[in-house]
Structure 1
Amino acid sequence: MGHIVLDRMGRLGRFLWSGWVGVAGLALFAALWQQGHEAYGDFILPSPLATFDATVALLKSDETWRLAGATTLRALEGFALTALLGGVLGLAVGYSAAAMRLARPLLTIIMGVPPIAWIVLAMIWFGSTAGTILTTTVVASFPLVFANVAEAVATRDRALEDMAKAFGAGPLQRLWTIVIRHVTGQYFPALAVALGSTFKVAVMAELLANIDGIGVALAMSRSNLDVAQSIAWVVLIVAVIFVVEYGIVHPIRAELERWRDAARPWGIKR
């Protein structure tokens, strides 16, 4: 038990230490942002400090938490459904070359339709309800996850599966130890992209369908020509995405990909 706890703490420490690179990237982004502010002025691009003050002011309001919570819940529902459907269906289709050929043109059609067109259609079908947001977020993100998982399954090492079968590994054991571990290398990067897409599409759907959430708040700040507050809402959206990605998605990926530690300098010595 103590060895497991120490292993978890070690991997958590490495994960947190690697965050310094991300902090450096954010600092560089803030510096470029400041340069843009000095070049174009407050009305076009408020300074990072002014945006920070506007963000803090928003966080002091209970209404902000309510709107952000509503948007986050809708986006996470769409993201969870995308992760589930994309993973399960991609896993199933990847085993069949005929199903892959059948699915490719359908994915092209779905991905070829702009998200705003799906929003308009969903508004006609479901009206200004959560169903509009759920439909558009799933349609916008599902093809990416599905295609990555299906392609990963199709390109799995069949010789390795045959070897495992020869040593007596059953279908479920081969699925878990070989296929799933191979698929995670493409599944989780696709989920990271899908996460950002679901939030972007959710906010856009709220704005166009006039559904209570961050989208409506953005529309109000736009009508008031309050650029700092508009960017502050964007900062809140990005912050939520950071929390979900690095607080949920990446820890799950690290747990499923512990075997990669063996290839690192501090891993198992060969």
Structure 2
Amino acid sequence: MRRSLPARGVATLLGWGGSLTGVLLFVALWEWGSLAYGSFLLPGPRDALAALGRLWHEGAAAAIWATTWRAMLGFGLAALAGISLGLLAGLSRTVGRALEPVSTVLLGIPPIAWIVLAILWFGSGSLATVYTVMATTLPVTFAGAQMGAMTLDRRLQEMADVFQLPALMRLVDITLPHIVSYVFPALVTALGVAWKVAVMAELFATEDGIGAGLALARVNLDTAAAMAWIVLVVALLLATEHGLLRPLQRRMEPWRQSGRGGR
């Protein structure tokens, strides 16, 4: 066990090093683009950071909180409903045949259409944003849970029957690990969609939040402020993914992490 710890540490450092390299490469390309096209069309990283500091002093924290709770509430409701319905659809062919067309239709409707419908149904405000996030992310979580339930290994189930494994052990050691391996990639994808759709909905439906800030930057032709809001959205997405979903995934999939450490 002691020998595995240095290997895990080296793997973690290499992972962070690779991520840092990618970030630095992106920043370098961003700076090159700013020099090539001018700061008005594409403000550089320093301009965006200066605008971000200005926005923070002007009360950007309230906009960040507004967007965060709308995006996360819609995402949470979609994850709860999508995973539940997806498991039912994967375990029952009848339910699956009934729900698959509905999921396909929902997935095919563009987010902008959901925003228009939500404004017509609920009016301008937070409810329209939360509903739009939920409607656009639910099919993604549904598909992940359904695929996980459909691809359960029947041979493992038969082996569990032969050895008469307790129901709790069968659930924890056989069923959940397989389903989780399909659900978490779907949740990561849905989380990215949730943030993008929340900001897009706020652009049309609310007077506060990051989307409203982008709308104001557009009116004022403040490209630096627009880039600052975009940087904030990306930072919030990375924070929720690596601060919430990834730790939860590591806790629920310890076998995957140990496999990586052994390499």
Q: TM-score, normalised by structure 1?
A: 0.89
| Contact persistence 1:152–1:182 (CA under 8 A) | yes
Shift in Å at residue 112 of structure 1?
1.3
State the partner residue of 2:51: 54
* 1:30 aligns to 2:21 (yes or no): no
State the partner residue of 2:235: 239
| Contact persistence 2:73–2:130 (CA under 8 A) | yes
| Contact persistence 2:11–2:261 (CA under 8 A) | no
Residue by residue over 1:64-114, the C-alpha shift from the partner in whole angstroms, topping out at 9 and shown as x without a partner, is 001111110111111111221122221222101222222221111111111
State the partner residue of 2:115: 119
Separation in 2 of the partners of 1:264 and 1:112? 36
* 1:93 aligns to 2:89 (yes or no): yes
Separation in 2 of the partners of 1:259 and 1:186? 15
Separation in 2 of the partners of 1:130 and 1:11? 44
Separation in 1 of the partners of 2:6 and 2:81? 32
Shift in Å at residue 49 of structure 1?
1.5
Separation in 2 of the partners of 1:12 and 1:212? 43
Divergent runs of 4+, >4 A: 7-17
State the partner residue of 1:197: 193
* 1:83 aligns to 2:74 (yes or no): no
Shift in Å at residue 14 of structure 1?
5.3
Structure 1 residue ranges without an equivalent (≥5): none
State the partner residue of 2:37: 40
| Contact persistence 2:34–2:44 (CA under 8 A) | yes
Separation in 1 of the partners of 2:122 and 2:204? 13
* 1:214 aligns to 2:210 (yes or no): yes
Residue by residue over 1:226-247, the C-alpha shift from the partner in whole angstroms, topping out at 9 and shown as x without a partner, is 0011010010111111111001
Separation in 1 of the partners of 2:115 and 2:60? 24
* 1:133 aligns to 2:129 (yes or no): yes
Separation in 2 of the partners of 1:68 and 1:37? 26
In structure 2, the residue corresponding to 1:122 is in which secondary structure?
helix
Report which structure shows greater RCO (CA 8 Å, sep ≥6).
Answer: 2
* 1:182 aligns to 2:195 (yes or no): no
| Contact persistence 1:192–1:245 (CA under 8 A) | yes
Structure 2 residue ranges without an equivalent (≥5): none
| Contact persistence 2:111–2:132 (CA under 8 A) | yes
In structure 2, the residue corresponding to 1:168 is in which secondary structure?
coil
Q: TM-score, normalised by structure 2?
A: 0.91
CA 263–210 in structure 1, closer or farther in 2 if over 3 Å, else same: closer
| Contact persistence 1:165–1:174 (CA under 8 A) | no
Separation in 1 of the partners of 2:191 and 2:226? 21
| Contact persistence 2:70–2:198 (CA under 8 A) | yes
State the partner residue of 1:69: 65
CA 12–66 in structure 1, closer or farther in 2 if over 3 Å, else same: farther
